[in-house]
Chain A
Amino acid sequence: MSLDGAAAERRGTIQSVDRAARILKVLGRGSARLGVTEIAEQLGLAKGTAYGLLRTLEAQGMVEQDPDTDKYRLGPAMLQLGNAFLDNHELRGRSLLWADSLASRVGEAVRVGVLNGSTVLIVHHVFRPDNSVQILEVGASIPWHACAIGRAIVAYLGEAEVEAMLGDSPFEPLTGRTLVDPAALETALIEVATRGVAIEDQETIVGEVEIAAPVFDHRGRPVGSIGVVGPVERLHVEGTSSSLATAVKETARGLSRDMGAGRLAARG
């Protein structure tokens, strides 16, 4: 991948904006605090160019400079933008109450995700209601093929889209159980469409199971999915209780109606 903006420019985008965006992404990595020289090196920019971009971003509050070390880090405006994204996300907004009530009904964590390329972006996460410390997974990206929320969405895409998704191999295993064979994934997707729920058994994380159902909009398109995720010893898959699957399906249907899906579209 070219590190300067040449490739982006060829596609008719603006080089300086592309560079500024890439500076933000570099600073968004880990606990990154970087000096001008490091940033310039990483992006293959002249130091003066990097400095100008950083000063501009700083004026907008998108980066800030540590007064002691002169190093740059992300600024407070980035948090506002992130929150604005979540606040304006229709599925997330409408899912808040549904997710809470599903979590308390089944006593497990609930996640809501949308498809973003070949990954699922978690836009809402309700902790398992047991007062334990848990990490907030909002913003996490999980390969669609390895998680129930991903398969629940893809199973209801159009035929051509499904074919394209399945053709986008190789699929990386996240655990030893992750389905990575396109034919096996296709079978799994057909099963999802038959049952109305996707079930994933320790394919994302060892020891964790997820059951998810699709959410549809007014056009009957799958806009995302909602799922229950928890330890295999409680949600054991073999006999995944029909009551759990029912709870997930009912929640997804209710959320679909809120999203404007007609009765027919809010199937599953």
Chain B
Amino acid sequence: MRGPGLTAGPGRPEGVGHVSDVPPPATPVDAVFVRRWIRDAADEIAANRDYLTQLDAAIGDADHGINMDRGFSAVVTDLAAVDGLAPGAILVRAGSTLVNRVGGASGPLFGSFFHDAGAELGNAAEPDAEALLRALRAGLGAIQRLGAAVEGDKTIVDALAPALAGFEKELRNGGVLSDATGRAASAAREGARDTIPMEARKGRASYLGPRSVGHQDPGATSTALLLGALARAAGRPA
């Protein structure tokens, strides 16, 4: 529950985060923020590499964790070597590295997500939460253009679409970046879990038809990890 005049900051649920009367300063979506997001995402993927691969072994080629880890390590190494990039340029560069370094469907899909999100941010040095939402939507659009997936197909989209809906809702309710990303992260986790009873309609898992039921989608799971990292970058433990 929340409402105007509560002791917690605007749009912040009671009992979570700061307990101060002063609303937290809006975290800027600057280069530091974006780099923190990517680094944290890479750590998160690395820590869950075997788990992701295990999920993939049930309905895919058992290489998802390995591919994602290799890709994100390459992204972190590449970004460490360049300075002075705007947030958008950092994401574009990360996206290109993923497309080039990650095999299978994950490279093109996650790579285009970051690439198009970055392109949407443009040259802005400190885009706001609204701009970040637009960027993430552009990223979702890229994934759907490539994969033709809609919600319910047991793919990345099943975690990402509800996450962005939650992000937007939180902003419309007056939430700040940390609220929006926190809500997005939990919606993505739920979305990933919700893929378990689904029958895959896209990707290699769809070859299994009804046998794909009962397994959590690895791509949706990775998406939840990425959004968890985003929430942490925004200062909200997810």
Cα A178 to Cα B148 in complex, Å, equals 9
**Total cross-chain contacts (CB, 8 A):** 72
- Give the dominant DSSP class at A's interface: loop
Q: How many residues of B contact A (CB 8 A)?
A: 30
Instruction: Evaluate contact between B61 and A132: CB separation under 8 angstroms.
Output: yes
For residue B145, CB closer than 8 A to chain A, the reply is: yes
Chain B residues within an 8 Å CB radius of A207:
103-105, 107-108
Q: Which single residue of chain B is at the shortest CB-CB distance from A140? A: B207
Chain A residues within an 8 Å CB radius of B103:
207, 231, 233
For residue B2, CB closer than 8 A to chain A, the reply is: no
Cα A206 to Cα B205 in complex, Å, equals 12
For residue A176, CB closer than 8 A to chain B, the reply is: yes
For residue B169, CB closer than 8 A to chain A, the reply is: no
For residue A31, CB closer than 8 A to chain B, the reply is: yes
- Give the dominant DSSP class at B's interface: helix
Cα A132 to Cα B56 in complex, Å, equals 13
Chain A residues within an 8 Å CB radius of B148:
173-176, 178
Instruction: Evaluate contact between A133 and B61: CB separation under 8 angstroms.
Output: yes
Instruction: Evaluate contact between A206 and B147: CB separation under 8 angstroms.
Output: yes
Instruction: Evaluate contact between B203 and A142: CB separation under 8 angstroms.
Output: no
Instruction: Evaluate contact between B62 and A133: CB separation under 8 angstroms.
Output: yes
Q: Which single residue of chain B is at the shortest CB-CB distance from A132? A: B63
In whole Å, how far is B205's beta carbon from the nearest beta carbon of chain A? 9
Instruction: Evaluate contact between B207 and A142: CB separation under 8 angstroms.
Output: yes
For residue A52, CB closer than 8 A to chain B, the reply is: no
For residue B211, CB closer than 8 A to chain A, the reply is: yes
Q: Which single residue of chain A is at the shortest CB-CB distance from B196? A: A30
For residue B26, CB closer than 8 A to chain A, the reply is: no
Cα A120 to Cα B146 in complex, Å, equals 23
Instruction: Evaluate contact between B213 and A31: CB separation under 8 angstroms.
Output: yes
Q: Which of B47-77 contact A (CB under 8 A)?
A: 57, 59-63
For residue A28, CB closer than 8 A to chain B, the reply is: yes
Instruction: Evaluate contact between A231 and B104: CB separation under 8 angstroms.
Output: yes
Instruction: Evaluate contact between A135 and B61: CB separation under 8 angstroms.
Output: yes
Q: List 22 A-B contacts (CB under 8 A).
A: A28-B210, A28-B211, A29-B210, A30-B212, A31-B211, A133-B57, A133-B62, A133-B63, A135-B60, A135-B204, A135-B208, A137-B204, A141-B207, A174-B148, A175-B146, A175-B202, A176-B144, A176-B146, A176-B147, A178-B148, A205-B204, A231-B103
Additional A-B contacts beyond A176-B146, A206-B146 (11; CB < 8 A) = A29-B210, A32-B213, A137-B204, A174-B206, A175-B148, A176-B144, A176-B145, A176-B148, A205-B105, A205-B204, A231-B103
The chain A residues found within 8 Å of chain B, CB to CB, are: 28-32, 122, 132-135, 137, 140-142, 173-178, 205-208, 231, 233
- Which 5 pairs show the lowest CB-CB distances between chains A and B? A30-B213, A140-B207, A29-B210, A133-B62, A206-B105
